[in-house]
Amino acid sequence: METINLIESFSEFKEVKNIDRATLMSIIVDVFKSMLLKKYGSDDNFDIIVNPDRGDLEIYHNRTIVDDEFAEDSFDFDPAKHISLTDAHKIEADFELGEEITTPVKLDDFGRRAVLAVRQNLVSKVLELEKDSLYKKYKEKVGEIMIGEVYQIWKKELLILDDEGNELMLPKTEQIPSDFFKKGDTIKAVVQRVEMKNNTPIIVLSRTSAIFLERLFELEVPEVFDGLITIKKIVREPGERAKVAVESYDDRIDPVGACVGMKGSRIHGIVRELRNENIDVINFTSNPGLFITRALSPAKITSVKIDEETKHAEVFLKPDQVSLAIGKGGHNIKLAGKLTGYEIDVYRDSDIDSEDVDLEEFADEIEGWILDSLKNIGCDTAKSVLELSNEELVKRTDLEEETVNEVKQILQSEFE
C-alpha cells in the first residue's frame, strides 16, 4: 500500500532535543487528525499509525457497508462512516452489507496543498514544543552550575553550547573583568535567569554572581554540599575579593579550616576558577562586634563601637593596620560592610599601648573557641585579659578556672 512518506520530516526531527519519542509521535498524530477533521468533519473512523524508524505514517479509514439506495437517497449517509455496497465490491467482490471495511488513505486523497500545510504545521508545532521544553528545563536549573563550550564570541556577550547543543548566553556584564575565552574553550558558569523573547527562550549565565561562588564551594567542599557547613552570606567584587561567612552546627567541624583545606588545597581550585580572586572565609557569629572584627580580616582590630539604631560601627586600629582594613581600592572595607550590614568607619588608635599584644597572635597556643569566648566579653588584647580577675573571667565567659589559669600563663609569658 502507499503510505504518507514523512522521511524528510522525520530526518529533521530525529535529533530533536528535550522532546521524548512518545511526545513527538503524539504531535504527529494530532497534526494529521486536524487534517482529517478538515476534510471529513470527524476523525472517529480513522486509525493513524506512525512508523518513525521507516519514516512513514499510515492512515486507515474504517467504514460500514450500506446498500446503494441508502447511499444515494438517505440524509443519514455519511461518507466518513459509510460506503456503498457497489463501491465496496470495487475493492473486494465478496463484501456483504453491514460488514466493516478498512481501506488505506492515500496521500493523493488530500491534495498537494493540504499535505504541504500539514508539514509546515508539524514543523511549527515541534519547534514550539522544543522551545517550551527548553524553557522549562532551564527554568528548573536556575542557580545551578553549567559547563559548556564557547561557540561564538561577540563584543557584548559569548554564545555557549551545552552538551546537548542548546545555546546559552554569557553577557560581558556577567563575566569576571579578567576573563578571557577563545572559541572551543570549556567554560563554567551558573544559570542566572531564563526569559522568553519573541517566543524564544534566552538562557543567561553568570560568573560574577554570589551564587556561582556558593556552588563552587559545594563542588570543592563536601561538608558544604552535605549541609554540615552552612554558607550564611557571600559578598563579592568579582575578580578582586570575596568574603564568605560560614557556620557549622557540629562542634567537631572547623568550618573555616574545612573550606580552606589542607594547605589551601580546596580554596585554591575556587581561586583559580575566579581568576585569582582573593577569598576570605570567615566564621559567622551573631555577635556584631566580633563579626565586624572578623569581616575586616586580614586587618587586626583594636576595638569596635557599634550603634545598633543607625547600623553604624566605628573601628579602631593600629596605624599600620588601617590600610589592610580598607584594602586595595577600598574593596575590603566595602565588602565587610555588605557582609555585616553595618556602615563601617575606620579610625587610627594612636593611644594604644604599644606593648600590648592582640589575642589573635596567640592562635597557635590557645584554641580558637577560647579566644572567641574572651573576645565576646570585649577582651581583644593580652593585657585586657590579664587585667581581669580569674573569678570574673570564669563568671563572664563560662570557661573553667583551670582553662583561665592556663590562658593567663601563656599571655603573661609574652611580657616576661
Homologous superfamily, domain 210-280: K homology (KH) domain (3.30.300.20)
Is residue 246 packed enough to be buried (19+ CB in 10 Å), middle (13-18) or exposed (0-12)?
buried
d(CA 241, CA 217): 15
pLDDT for the residue numbered 16: 57
pLDDT for the residue numbered 141: 95
Position of cell 479509514? 61
pLDDT for the residue numbered 47: 84
Determine the residue type at 413. Answer: S
d(CA 6, CA 224): 52
d(CA 358, CA 195): 52
Closest alpha carbon to 325 in 314, 336, 341? 336
Q: Which parts of the chain sit beneath pLDDT 50?
A: 1-3, 5, 7, 351-352
pLDDT for the residue numbered 258: 94
Strand order of the β-sheet with 343-348 is: 301-307, 312-317, 343-348
pLDDT for the residue numbered 339: 96
pLDDT for the residue numbered 38: 80
pLDDT for the residue numbered 73: 77
248-277 burial code (b ≥16 CB/10 A, e <16): beeeeebbbebbbeeeeebbeebeebbbeb
Of the candidate CATH numbers 1.10.3430, 3.40.1350, 1.10.3300, 3.30.1480, the domain formed by 4-136 belongs to 3.30.1480
Closest alpha carbon to 176 in 282, 297, 270? 270
Homologous superfamily, domain 141-206: Nucleic acid-binding proteins (2.40.50.140)
pLDDT for the residue numbered 92: 84
Closest alpha carbon to 327 in 235, 233, 241, 260? 241
The dotted CATH code for 285-352 is 3.30.300.20
d(CA 140, CA 187): 20
